[in-house]
Amino acid sequence: MSEEKKIEKISGIKGMNDILPADAVLWELFENTVQSVLKSYGFQQIRTPIVESTHLFARGLGAVTDIVEKEMYSFEDALNGDKLTLRPENTAGIVRAALEHNLTYDGPKRVWYNGPMFRHEKPQRGRYRQFHQVGAEALGFSGPDIDAELIAMCQRLWDDLGLQNIRLELNSIGDANERQQHRLDLIAYFEQHRDMLDTEAQRRLYSNPLRILDTKNPSMQAMVNDAPKLFDYLGIDSKSHFEGVQKILRHNSIPFTINPRLVRGMDYYNRTVFEWVTDELGSQGTVCGGGRYDSLFTMFGGKATPACGFAMGIERLLELMKAAGEGHSPSQCDVYLVHQGAEAQMQSFVIGERLRDAGLDVVLHCASAVGVGSFKSQMKKADVSGAAYSIIIGEDEASANTVSIKAMRADGADNHQITLPFESAVDYIVDQITGSSETDSSCDNPNHIHIHH
């Protein structure tokens, strides 16, 4: 017996998931829907790097936030010592890019993004270390109309994705000076209840007391509920801005509840904040969060530029879509090419290219380590592929310059096999498929029409 050397397997990183082909259908459906909804509001896509300077997040999100304190993947570039961070969110990066390229020089801009974010959290259902967000940022807009538009856009997206039971929670956290007065009163209140604060709250008492309101500690709930409410500190401008948002939402029948304890995790927010929440995902029920961030541009050294945006967690939304029965695997192709023999293999390749020229999706049976396999095993693959037709070229067909065509999806008498001259096979299949796709109403997935004429 020869001694086999054991080779250690390399695994993926905890909390960072592979998205496999079986799930790709759902991702594509989600991404296509997002793209068309956002486009219908005039939002344009922007793509920024996944790595930014660590500095950007520390300054942008606030030093005493969950993300900056304990969730960032930060490292030193081994070659030049630069301090870098895998982006934990994308608003900071987009504001950086907007400033760097003077994106708002000729007026406000609506942009959106889609991509991976990284946070070192405890992995669990709906909470990963690499996860994906779609977000929208409206840069340079100050009125309540854009806040309401962003919210309406989310509502339309949930509707188009077939998602119900996502409710909107809304709040206004006022402007910096209003928050400052509230902060002083809040600290005084917490000082009076010092014995009830947990260590996390103790630590945040002077650095970020607003975040104590967001505690999940059950023993602090009652005390926190009676704390001074930021809402009572809002001045007339903040109040009327908030009224404006609500008025548009009501006028357009978009339901919401006001949650006076909603504060959001990043320091950059002011005035409008909102979250979309569902009860169907356990404790990871927030699928989207956003709000106004009028001071972020100046925090990055730019000219004052009001702005508002949101980010949604794709994994959480896909879980809802799955529960709603979306994302059935559509067929892989229109036509599967089955062949036997060297001559037949050459002809299959040629007919495959011609079918693709005609706009069809085609899978050619290619050899694996054990060769191309028997007709029977190839036909099994053709069946699994979901193809409407298989084209079969055996040695007889190859020498007679013909092909056999089998309708894979028709029942009974239609499930026959015909033989045609090689040259007329493409026209025949294109006719069959375009004819049937025009009348086929059983196909409920709009992405599943393979023919593109």
For the CB of residue 24, give the shortest distance to ligand ATP in the complex, in Å: 19
Task: By CB under 6 A, tell whether 131 contacts ligand ATP.
Answer: yes
For the CB of residue 266, give the shortest distance to ligand ATP in the complex, in Å: 7
Q: Which is nearer to ligand ATP, 307 or 351 (CB)?
A: 307
C-alpha 205/C-alpha 203 separation (Å) is: 6
For the CB of residue 104, give the shortest distance to ligand ATP in the complex, in Å: 23
Q: Which range of residues in 74-82, 240-248, 287-295, 368-376 is near ligand ATP by CB under 6 A?
A: 287-295
Q: Which is nearer to ligand ATP, 130 or 390 (CB)?
A: 130
Query: Given the structure tokens 């100050």, which residue do they identify?
Result: 142
Q: Which is nearer to ligand ATP, 290 or 352 (CB)?
A: 290
Binding track over 25-64 against ligand ATP, x by CB under 6 A: ----------------------------------------
Task: By CB under 6 A, tell whether 287 contacts ligand ATP.
Answer: yes
Residue 381 C-alpha from the chain's centroid: 32
Instruction: Give per-residue burial for 102-129: e unless 16+ CB within 10 Å, then b.
Output: ebbeeeebbbbbbbebbbebebeebbbb
C-alpha 283/C-alpha 234 separation (Å) is: 31
Contact 287, 313 (CB under 8 A): yes
Give the pairing type, strands 389-393 and 270-277. unpaired
Q: Which range of residues in 108-116, 123-131, 376-384, 400-408 is near ligand ATP by CB under 6 A?
A: 123-131
Residues 90-119, interacting with ligand ATP (CB under 6 A): 119
Q: Which is nearer to ligand ATP, 46 or 398 (CB)?
A: 46
Both structure tokens of 415: 């499930």
Q: Give φ, ψ of 203 to 5 degrees.
A: -65, -30
Task: By CB under 6 A, tell whether 259 contacts ligand ATP.
Answer: no
Residue in 72, 161, 186, 311 binding ligand ATP, rule: CB under 6 A: 311
Task: By CB under 6 A, tell whether 265 contacts ligand ATP.
Answer: yes
Q: What residue is closest to ligand ATP based on CB?
A: 313
* β-strand partners of 407: 389
For the CB of residue 272, give the shortest distance to ligand ATP in the complex, in Å: 14
Residue 269's contacts (CB-CB under 8 Å, 6 or more residues apart) are 173, 263, 291, 292, 293
For the CB of residue 84, give the shortest distance to ligand ATP in the complex, in Å: 20
CA-to-CA dists, residue 373 to 340, 347, 349, 395, angstroms: 8, 17, 17, 14
C-alpha 243/C-alpha 241 separation (Å) is: 5
Binding track over 133-172 against ligand ATP, x by CB under 6 A: x---------------------------------------
For the CB of residue 187, give the shortest distance to ligand ATP in the complex, in Å: 23
Residue 224's contacts (CB-CB under 8 Å, 6 or more residues apart) are 212, 213, 215, 261
C-alpha 375/C-alpha 393 separation (Å) is: 10
249-252 own/partner pairs: CB under 8 Å, 24+ apart: 249/148, 249/151, 249/152, 249/168, 249/170, 252/148, 252/152
Q: Which is nearer to ligand ATP, 119 or 406 (CB)?
A: 119
Task: By CB under 6 A, tell whether 121 contacts ligand ATP.
Answer: yes
Task: By CB under 6 A, tell whether 288 contacts ligand ATP.
Answer: yes
Q: Which is nearer to ligand ATP, 154 or 391 (CB)?
A: 154
Task: By CB under 6 A, tell whether 284 contacts ligand ATP.
Answer: yes
Which residue ranges make up the site for ligand ATP (CB under 6 A)?
89, 119, 121, 126-128, 131, 133, 265, 284, 286-289, 311-313, 315-316
